[in-house]
Amino acid sequence: MSRVSKIFIDGEAGTTGLEIRQKLAGQPGIELISIDPERRKDPQARADMMREADLVVLCLPDAAAKEAVAIMDGLGADAPRVVDASTAYRVDPDWVYGFAELAPDQKARIAAAKRVSNPGCYPTGAIALLRPLVEKGLLPRDYPVTVNAVSGYSGGGRQMIEAYEAGAAPSFELYGLGLEHKHMPELQSYAKLTRRPIFAPSVGNFRQGMIVSVPLHLDLLSGGAKAADIEAALSEWYGQGGLVTVAPTAGIERIEAEALNGTDRLELCVFANDARGQAVLVARLDNLGKGASGAAVQNIGIMLGL
């Protein structure tokens, strides 16, 4: 009989935790264990659950995630492996970044890792577009990148969800205008950019779905790269049959955010006008799928060899 791995989701009542639990429920080789709701903030009760678990998923705010890691540090040899969905450790060198398609060896690094940081939803789209172009020498590392993005309101936490579902929130809102968004460090680091990008996130009145777009001036790219070169570079990087795909764009002039809802897919598009020397790169995903819980479940599967 194959071994069953016990998984404890610390913070399972939140949006991401609920999604992860739903995706894992009934999966062969996995047993979900839960803490008594009345003791979910009790450090000893949490430590007991962590000691019993083979893998812990942290679906907590940054400060609480750090507290959870401190509890696990105190368990010594009994400490479980962990996937952290917060931003607390995404650029920590002692953690492996949980974007399996980031580089050819990233999946193997995740499989061997004790601690994996789950990517942010916005960086997932932006890094997927930019990292291959930097690696292949098409996009200079100091290119003045701008990332524009819109997400469904489910990515904003309980208060935002309640406000939108009560009809008390605007139809569309640009935010992060202090230019200090918490996703910026991982975006710049894993896209391998030396110049800090400008990131302009927004939220729309739809529950889930996301579009991340990056406008480019082709004459600023290396070697006179054209749209076909960009598309070829992305297609070669991600190959066929995976969760990340490059979609054709011929004849398409509009794209909407909700088409991939309920999936763990990430779709990349290159819209361009070579005559004008301009392009817009677009990543589309479900912010609760490949942008959050779907990525976490993918990482859990890799780590546990499922």
Query: Which position has the token pair 């995976």?
Result: 242
Residue 167 backbone zone (phi > 0: left; psi -120 to 50: alpha; other: beta): left
How far apart (Å, rounded) are the C-alpha atoms in residues 210 and 264? 12
Which residue in 24, 30, 69, 121 is the catalytic one?
Answer: 121
Bridging pattern class, strands 198-204 and 96-97: unpaired
Bridging pattern class, strands 266-273 and 30-33: unpaired
Q: Angle between the 43-52 and 62-73 helix axes, to the nearest 10 degrees?
A: 60
Query: Which position has the token pair 């990340």?
Result: 244
State which amino acid sits at residue 20.
I
CA separation, residue 275 to residues 95, 146, 280 (Å): 44, 21, 14
106-109: long-range contacts, CB 8 A cutoff, minimum separation 24:
107/302
Q: Is 121 a residue of the active site?
A: yes
Active-site residue set: 121
